[in-house]
Structure 1
């Protein structure tokens, strides 16, 4: 199984277009050891030709241009994209669907019922696409909130969805009113090699049923949005805390670092990095702490082979 990181940043990317925080301003001035990042999305394949997209960011066109393998060029109009899995209905994970409207067949989209509701009401992307390529919706089923949902197969992958405690988008009818399926994680398993990767760019908290799936994985590609719970406040940007925005910070008691510490088997990689996060600076003490803990930071164009 090959996982290609199309984008590794959080909403707005890095540097964010209107932000002059410590990280963004230094990157623009060339005073920063690190690299720019587009908004979070990954592609997975078991044969290198047929690909499943996990999220479609607003940066999708540039991301696809930077990844020739996803355009095999077998015909006048062609793509290696076979299916799309949406882990939530956030703008930075779904807006790219509009950029794929020229597709000559319906987009095969897998998502939960709450995400489908958001994308036909509060942010009706699916209804807009009805005037173009249209969408074939495949429901992701989550019978319980404290256990993995129904597994399904896509392009040689067995996908096990798991409900996550996180926040629905501001335009969702159930913002601040948790619904099972607002956000999911996905355990991807290559049906040939049985190698597994757990993908969850949005993790508000890690419950036991989520931790069990993480422990089964050969690789974790999980939420790296914030370093600290009060990071946005420290940066002078917002009073909102990480938990309010549905993200578990890396540092502190119960943070991502301490949660992953007992998991000795999987490779550990953070994705969905916010522009304020000090780990973007490769010379920062926070980045050194991650490296000492054996945790990597995803970057645009990163390939993970399992």
Structure 2
């Protein structure tokens, strides 16, 4: 399996357009620190897929040589999109893909239902086909637009860890994790590569930095401090993604990088290519 990390930032990216926090200011002063929204390009047996369709998807496709169009004038290798959840920063790029003739979207049923308005908008432009994703529920947190008054069901499958395989190698991708269920343990134990939620370094980070009155866990993200020891015991290569602009890891000189390195863990970088 071949994959390219297309982006590694949480919602808003780094820098976020309306934020002057140290992480965003540092990324403006040092362009190498910029991060686009978290996404992957993956080559599977049945085609090339993008995992999550972010607001940056057009630039992310251009940055991945094996996703660029050709040899025909309107011939694209992109077969479809696999979704971990229904959050806007992971789905709004579907609208940007309206130029396609057909597009397969893989998701859980509740995510498909939440995206029905997107499907209605896209119907005159592109033929969408839907399929089930090989998903492990890791949070019942629904997007704000899909609140309890939206008529959508309660479900543990609002947010999933994806298990992607080409028959030889296996990747587990979970850019958002609110819980760590036993089923996830089973998948991680046999994965060649694991890329998981690194939104916040510690649980108090959102409150300490003033971006929320909630802790990281209450926002639906297990902090790195709560997962790094468990990841360090896994046999596969483990990386963190989906970094919020408040996360100290957006600074390459932060001491937290050394903490992860001592555990054998990595921080994914935009453009990184991993061959499994």
Give 2:172's aligned residue: 198
**C-alpha displacement of 1:177:** 7.5
Aligned to 2:39: 41
In 2, Cα distance between equivalents of 1:162 and 1:257: 20
State how 1:26-175 maps to structure 2 within 5 Å: 26-30=26-30, 35-46=33-44, 50-103=47-100, 105-120=101-116, 124-140=117-133, 160-174=134-148
- Conserved in 2, the CA contact under 8 Å of 1:233 and 1:239? yes
Runs of 5+ in structure 1 lacking a partner? Answer: 141-159
When normalised by structure 1's length, the TM-score is 0.85
**Aligned equivalents of 1:268 and 1:165: distance in 2?**
20
Stretches of structure 2 lacking an aligned partner (at least 5 in a row): none
What is the aligned counterpart of 2:253 among 283, 286, 300?
A: 283
> What is the CA-CA distance between 1:46 and the residue it aligns to?
4.3
Matched, 1:225 2:199: yes
Native 8 Å contact 1:280 1:287 kept in 2: no
In 1, distance between residues paired with 2:102 and 2:205? 41
> 1:256 aligns to what?
227
> Which residue is equivalent to 2:214?
240
Are residues 1:268 and 2:238 paired? yes
Asked whether the equivalents of residues 166 and 205 of structure 1 are also in contact (C-alpha less than 8 Å), the reply is no
Q: Which residue of 2 aligns with 1:155?
A: none
Cα offsets for 1:176-235 (capped at 9, x unmatched): 9740321111111222xx211111111111111111111110110111110011112111
Shift, 1:85, TM fit: 0.9
CA distance in 1, matches of 2:147, 2:246: 29
Per-residue deviation at 1:81?
0.5
